[in-house]
Structure 1
Amino acid sequence: MPNVADLYKTTTTLPIVGPLVGERAFSFLFAQKAPYFASIHPRFTKVEPNHAELVIPKRRSVQNHIGTVHAIALCNGLEAAMGALAESTIPKNKRWIPKGMDISYTAKATTDITCIAETDPEQWTSDNPDLHVRVKGVRTDGVVVIEGVIKLWVTEKPKKD
């Protein structure tokens, strides 16, 4: 399977398509792999090793009873960003699976939210299978509305005979 970061770069740099249409095409295709992600209408804006960002547009389908972006929609966005980061970063001889999430809600999500996932390169080469991805969601005015870590279990792929 091609590297997710390479696919993002290809779709966003096609001269005929342009970056905005390319971001939307990549986001649509990414959500087809894990259809629940489509429920938040993500628009990836950056996908590279150790860093991924996407925007959740504030629209009725992701709002709660007080008109802010729902907490679970925020978690869905953070997990999508983490998944793109993990697929873009993980060495070819390893595999990953999420095993938990520790999140704090720090402010009302009253605007579109940019979900950001980050790791350090050395985390992926460590022998420690516990890998924590730093995640946060930021309003358009720069206020962090959600932050925490998504815990991954990273192990060697089984050897093929």
Structure 2
Amino acid sequence: MAAVNRLASIVNRINSLPAIARPRALSLFFGKAVPFTGTTGIRILSLDANRCVITLANKRRVQNHIGGVHAVASLLLAESATGFLVGLNVPDDKIPVIKTVHAEYTKRAKGDMTVEAFLTEEQKQRIRDEDKGETAVAVRIHDAEAKEPIEVEMIWAWTPKRR
């Protein structure tokens, strides 16, 4: 598949590395491109135009007062996974922006967190073709026990870049 933008070109080159090197290379690249994500210890396991999977180890620097991954760190994971995915699909003449975040904490999270975000073919087509718009990006957050302690809705918008 041809790259939609410069970011997609870079990620495609990283994805051509041996499988063992990809998570580290993706994580380092995005840690430099989006410095805040680099400081938190987010690790990108896989990323392509359809799906993004990232993890965050439950270490002291991201914990809340009860020893779990802090609520805001969980939202950062969801925002990062969905944002990386939208960023890979939005053409260079448009800019992606988070519009709405809704989170419902349904149970206590235990251990490391993993987030998966997905875009459908229809969503990718709309992002490429429409000058501006918005879409809800599917995202699931799992803890170390494979439970989903947080239900999240992330709505991303895109608009033309100002010249």
TM-score by length of 1: 0.82
User: Aligned letter for 1:66?
Assistant: I
Is the partner of 1:36 in helix, strand or coil?
helix
In the alignment, does 2:133 pair up with 1:129? yes
Q: What is the aligned-residue RMSD (CA, Å)?
A: 2.2
Q: Is the 8 A contact 1:134 1:149 kept in 2?
A: yes
User: Aligned letter for 1:61?
Assistant: R
Q: Is the 8 A contact 1:31 1:38 kept in 2?
A: yes
For structure 1, list consecutive stretches of 5 or more residues without a partner in the other structure: none
Relative distance call for 1:92 and 1:32 in structure 2 (3 A) is closer
Displacement of 1:90 in angstroms is: 2.2
1:7: which partner in 2?
A: 10
1:153: which partner in 2?
A: 157
2:120: which partner in 1?
A: 120
User: Aligned letter for 1:56?
Assistant: L
Is the partner of 2:26 in helix, strand or coil?
helix
In the alignment, does 2:110 pair up with 1:107? no
Is the partner of 2:85 in helix, strand or coil?
helix
In the alignment, does 2:70 pair up with 1:70? yes
2:147: which partner in 1?
A: 143
Give the Cα–Cα distance (whole angstroms) in 1 for the partners of residues 44 and 10 of structure 2.
12
Displacement of 1:52 in angstroms is: 0.7
Aligned length: 155
Moved more, 80-89 or 128-137: 128-137
Give the Cα–Cα distance (whole angstroms) in 1 for the partners of residues 67 and 36 of structure 2.
21
Give the Cα–Cα distance (whole angstroms) in 2 for the partners of residues 9 and 123 of structure 1.
20
Moved more, 56-65 or 114-123: 114-123
Q: Is the 8 A contact 1:116 1:135 kept in 2?
A: yes
1:103-125 deviation line (CA, Å, top 9, x unaligned) = 11122221111111122221243
User: Aligned letter for 1:84?
Assistant: F
Runs of 4+ in 1 over 4 A off after TM superposition: none
1:21-69 deviation line (CA, Å, top 9, x unaligned) = 4311220220111111123211111111131110111111111110000
For structure 2, list consecutive stretches of 5 or more residues without a partner in the other structure: none
Give the Cα–Cα distance (whole angstroms) in 1 for the partners of residues 66 and 78 of structure 2.
21
User: Aligned letter for 1:139?
Assistant: D
Q: Is the 8 A contact 1:117 1:133 kept in 2?
A: yes
Give the Cα–Cα distance (whole angstroms) in 2 for the partners of residues 39 and 150 of structure 1.
22
